[in-house]
Amino acid sequence: MKKQPSSNNRLLFQYAGLATQLLVSLAIAVYAGYWVDKKIGWNIPLLVWILPLLVVISIIVKTVKDTSKK
């Protein structure tokens, strides 16, 4: 019998790590934006929207850079 290649498991763990990093980063960005907006006292939750957007853009850029090498 042939064994499954270990590269599939490595790839699975790599994508699971990326998903975890995305979720944790978004949660921290939303909380930080909410906290700063509350501290400043703005009526519009501006940073609650901007910080997660920056996180998503940076994760996409990182993913493109990581996958373009292969």
Q: Whole-angstrom Cα distance, residue 23 to residue 67?
A: 20
Domain limits, the chain: 23-68
Q: Whole-angstrom Cα distance, residue 3 to residue 23?
A: 33
pLDDT at 70: 58
- Summarised one tens digit per residue, pLDDT across range 4-58 is 557 778 878 888 888 898 999 999 999 999 999 999 998 889 999 999 999 999 9
pTM score: 0.74
Q: Whole-angstrom Cα distance, residue 42 to residue 31?
A: 15
Q: Which residues of 15-41 are buried (b: 16+ CB within 10 A; e: fewer)?
A: eeeeeeebeebbeebbeebeeebeeee
Neighbours of 48 (CB within 10 A): 20
